[in-house]
Amino acid sequence: MAKTILVIDDDPTQRRLLQAAVEKAGFACRTAPDGETGIAMSCDAREAIDVVLLDLTMPGLSGMETLDRLAERRNELPVIMLTATSGIDTIVQAMRRGAVDFIVKPANPERVVVSIRNALKMQSLTGEVKRLSRKAEGGMRFEDMIASAPSMRGVLRMAERASSSDIPVLILGESGVGKEVMARCIQGASARAGKPFVTVNCGAIPENLVESILFGHEKGAFTGAVTKSLGKFAEADGGTLFLDEVGELPLDAQVKLLRALQEGEVDAVGSRRPTKVDVRIISATNRDLAGQVKAGTFREDLFYRLNVFPLDMPSLKERREDIPALVEHFIARFNASEGAKVTGAAADTMQMLHAFDWPGNVRQLENAVFRAVVLCEGELLRPQDFPQISGQMPEVASLPPLPEMRPAVPVAANDAGPAEAASPVAIKDQDGEIRSLQDIERDLLQYAIEFYDGHMSEVSRRLGIGRSTLYRKVREYDLEVRGEREAG
């Protein structure tokens, strides 16, 4: 999908010229005649604005004031300033207040396009660096997950509840659905955030080394043990141990694992005394553990120890609504890592990807986009860039149309249409007069908090405002937030 550029300028001629330049470069373009309108459009999730071209001198709300408001409500949104004056003080002031570039009018179309592309590339790099930093520091958050599909919302709510304690979690789901990402987010939202997050792929450990790798060994404990090894439990002390594919563990290792979970201590191979460990266990499997218990290949007592708080992750074909956002996320990541300049996926490409069943789930989609970015010869991913997918699909014209991806919006009490919301926000008062903006905002915030079950990061994202602004307004309006879903 093409990136959307918003032009905010009070001069209609300038708006038309900039719009022509932006659209000729392959971007979608929206325009606003003043700062207030531009801010409203920038914060409207349905508009999906990616970059703003902002005139410095405008009647009413000035460019600098508009820049300040945008920085407060959408601080991640790149803003490029446009002005007929090129004073160094003005440029420095704009940059200090958050602008990413400064273009002097009359704006050269090529210069504008280069600035937009640089802003998008920098945004991708910044986002990827932040994500990788949080992952490395054990601080991934639930908002790092792309999970807006209805089938994922319930899973996220359960995961957020699990993060508030050290309860053992068992994540179930097909291979490639993102079980490790979910585990990292649970850790990042818990009191153990920033502590070690140690991953063990139980299916990839040789059977004769399982005990040594999990619990450690002393020097000389067996042939080849030339140095002492702490083991994964000791490495994860104070943090989280993620046991991936736990159903692959051999029975004798299951016995020792059960003891470690029950006693909170491990026996290293060759050691004379056990070692106390403080570890939170999150396990995952794509197998039917209950079936394995009946077949006698998995211990029943260990199953009940691990299966205290199960989370069932849906497959990608059960959450197709997330595919466009996932594709955009992977394009941004691979643009950053590969130095590519792909701006999005063409409409027929997205239609094809949305219709495909993805037996390998999110991991398969990620690898497919990686290959497509490498193969792509233009700025948009085309069906031919996905040869392994397009070869299995019918002609795009015969595929079902891509559903419109719009966030749910409450239906106002005075508007026509089905009353789906339990507490719709009224626009008019009892006398039929328009209510004040402040009253409507207060009711909308309260409604959104209740609608998203206290999931504040989701409220923030859906309303298009920063979390700090959201919390400030909650305090300002003295709103009720029951069961708030964010740590701290």
The CATH number of whichever domain residue 82 belongs to comes to: 3.40.50.2300
Q: Is it the case that residue 68 has pLDDT exceeding 80?
A: yes
Q: Are residues 294 and 373 in the same domain?
A: no
Could you say which DSSP state residue 411 is in?
P
The residue that leads in pLDDT, 369 or 74, is 369
Q: Is residue 118 part of a domain?
A: yes
Give me the mean pLDDT over the 255-265 stretch.
Answer: 90
Q: Is residue 267 part of a domain?
A: yes
Q: Is it the case that residue 306 has pLDDT exceeding 90?
A: yes
What pTM value is reported for the model? 0.64
Q: Are residues 185 and 306 in the same domain?
A: yes
Which of 92, 115, 133 is the C-terminal boundary of a domain? 133
Q: Which helix (H) or strand (E) holds 244?
A: strand 240-244
* Contact partners, residue 352, CB within 8 Å, separation at least 6: 383, 386, 389, 390, 393, 396, 399
pLDDT value at position 423?
A: 38
DSSP SS3 for 38: helix
How many helices (H) and strands (E) in the chain? 19, 14
User: Where does the pLDDT of residue 406 fall: very low under 50, low under 70, confident under 90, or very high at 90 and above?
Assistant: very low
Asked whether the beta carbons of 186 and 280 are under 8 A apart, the reply is: no
Segments forming the whole domain that contains residue 111: 4-133
Q: Is residue 410 part of a domain?
A: no
Distance CA 430, CA 15 (A): 41
Distance CA 135, CA 140 (A): 5
Distance CA 195, CA 178 (A): 21
Q: Are residues 35 and 115 in the same domain?
A: yes
Asked whether the beta carbons of 283 and 232 are under 8 A apart, the reply is: no
pLDDT value at position 270?
A: 83
pLDDT value at position 487?
A: 36
Q: Is residue 404 part of a domain?
A: no
- Number of separate domains in the chain: 4
Q: Are residues 164 and 256 in the same domain?
A: yes
Give me the mean pLDDT over the 121-138 stretch.
Answer: 66
Q: Are residues 307 and 161 in the same domain?
A: yes
pLDDT value at position 486?
A: 45
Q: Is it the case that residue 200 has pLDDT exceeding 50?
A: yes
Distance CA 409, CA 411 (A): 6
Return the closest-CA partner of residue 452 out of 413, 480, 484: 484
Residues of 171-187 as b/e, b for ≥16 C-beta within 10 angstroms?
Answer: bbbbebbbbbbbbbbbb
Q: Are residues 129 and 149 in the same domain?
A: no
pLDDT value at position 66?
A: 93
Q: Is it the case that residue 312 has pLDDT exceeding 50?
A: yes
Could you say which DSSP state residue 410 is in?
P
Asked whether the beta carbons of 462 and 68 are under 8 A apart, the reply is: no
Cα–Cα distances in Å, from 8 out to 11, 29, 41, 95, 465?
9, 11, 10, 18, 19
Asked whether the beta carbons of 325 and 318 are under 8 A apart, the reply is: no
DSSP SS3 for 199: strand
| Residues 441, 446, 447, 449, Cα dihedral to 10° | 120
Q: Are residues 39 and 153 in the same domain?
A: no
Give me the mean pLDDT over the 178-188 stretch.
Answer: 93
The dihedrals phi and psi of 101, each to the nearest 5 degrees, come to -160, 170
Q: What would you report as the CA-atom Rg of the chain, rounded to the nearest whole angstrom?
A: 26
Q: What is the SS3 assignment for 69-102?
A: HHHHHCCCCCEEEEECCCCHHHHHHHHHCCCCEE
Q: Are residues 257 and 348 in the same domain?
A: no
Q: Are residues 102 and 147 in the same domain?
A: no
pLDDT value at position 440?
A: 83
Q: Are residues 30 and 127 in the same domain?
A: yes
Distance CA 6, CA 25 (A): 14
pLDDT value at position 2?
A: 65
Measure CA 461 to chain center: 11
Measure CA 98 to chain center: 23
pLDDT value at position 420?
A: 35
| Residues 341, 347, 351, 353, Cα dihedral to 10° | 0
The per-residue pLDDT for range 42-59, each reduced to its tens digit, is 988 777 898 999 998 898
pLDDT value at position 287?
A: 93
Which of 281, 314, 347 is the C-terminal boundary of a domain? 314
Beta bridge partners of 434: 428
The per-residue pLDDT for range 237-256, each reduced to its tens digit, is 999 999 999 999 999 889 98
Percentage of residues of the chain with pLDDT beyond 90: 41
Q: Is residue 407 part of a domain?
A: no
Q: Is it the case that residue 83 has pLDDT exceeding 60?
A: yes
| Other Cβ atoms within 10 Å of 399 Cβ, number | 15
Question: CATH number of the domain that 210 lies in?
Answer: 3.40.50.300
Q: Supply angle C-alpha 474, 478, 482, rounded to 5.
A: 70
Distance CA 210, CA 200 (A): 10
Q: Which two tokens stand for residue 62?
A: 């000035």
User: Where does the pLDDT of residue 338 fall: very low under 50, low under 70, confident under 90, or very high at 90 and above?
Assistant: confident
Distance CA 142, CA 461 (A): 12
> Mean pLDDT for the chain?
84
Sign for the pseudo-dihedral over CA of 179, 184, 188, 192: positive
Q: Which two tokens stand for residue 243?
A: 């046991």
Largest CA distance in the chain: 88
Q: Is residue 409 part of a domain?
A: no
Asked whether the beta carbons of 157 and 484 are under 8 A apart, the reply is: no
Q: Are residues 261 and 203 in the same domain?
A: yes
Question: CATH number of the domain that 461 lies in?
Answer: 1.10.10
Q: Are residues 151 and 284 in the same domain?
A: yes
pLDDT value at position 281?
A: 96
Which of 365, 398, 431 is the C-terminal boundary of a domain? 398
Q: Is it the case that residue 428 has pLDDT exceeding 70?
A: no
Q: Is it the case that residue 412 has pLDDT exceeding 80?
A: no
